[in-house]
Amino acid sequence: MAKYLLLKHYRGAPTPVNDVPMERWTPDEVEAHMEFMRDFAARLEGTGELVDGQALAQEGAWVRYDGEGRPPVTDGPFAETKDLIAGWFVIDVDSWDRAVELAGELSAAPGAGGEPIHEWLEVRPFYGGSAPVSE
C-alpha cells in the first residue's frame, strides 16, 4: 500500500468543465456537493483506503520565522493557499492506478446545476513511497 494526496484546488489547475465558483452555487447545490464528498469518504473508509479527508476554510495566513527573539511574520507578497487549496483526501491504496481511478471519481463531484464539475485534482505520492507515475 502507498499513500497519496488527492488535492482539491480553488484555482491554479486547468479550468474545469463546470466552471462556476462555489460562492455562486445555490444552497442545495452546495449540500449535494458536500453529500457527495461525505459519501466518497464513507466508501473509502469502508474499503480501508481512507486515511484522512478535510475541507479547508477560506481564512488563513502565511507565517515564517523572522529571527531569534522576533515574532513570526505573517502574510506577505505570496499566493495565498487559502485562495488555492480547497481540501484534500489522503488515501492508502495498492497502486498509482487506483489513486488515479479514485481521483477521477472525485472529479465528478456535482457543482452548479447538479452537473459534475470535472475538476482537475492533483495526485501526489507521499515522499518515500513507491509510486510509479507514468504520463
Could you name the CATH architecture of 2-125?
2-Layer Sandwich (3.30)
Integer Cα distance of 113 and 127 in angstroms: 38
In this prediction, residue 82 carries a pLDDT of 54
β strands within 1-135, DSSP E: 2-9, 50-55, 63-64, 73-74, 85-93, 121-125
Q: Which residue has the higher pLDDT, 129 or 45?
A: 45
Report the alpha-carbon distance of residue 87 to residue 70 in Å, rounded: 32
Global pTM reads 0.74
Q: Are 2 and 92 in contact (CB under 8 A)?
A: yes
Mean per-residue pLDDT of the chain:
83
Give the span between the Cα atoms of 133 and 135, in whole angstroms.
7
7-60 pLDDT, tens digit per residue, is: 887 666 778 888 888 889 999 999 999 999 999 999 999 999 999 998 877 666
Grid cell for residue 61: 495566513
* Banded model confidence at residue 132, pLDDT cuts 50, 70, 90: low
Domain ranges (residues) in the chain = 2-125
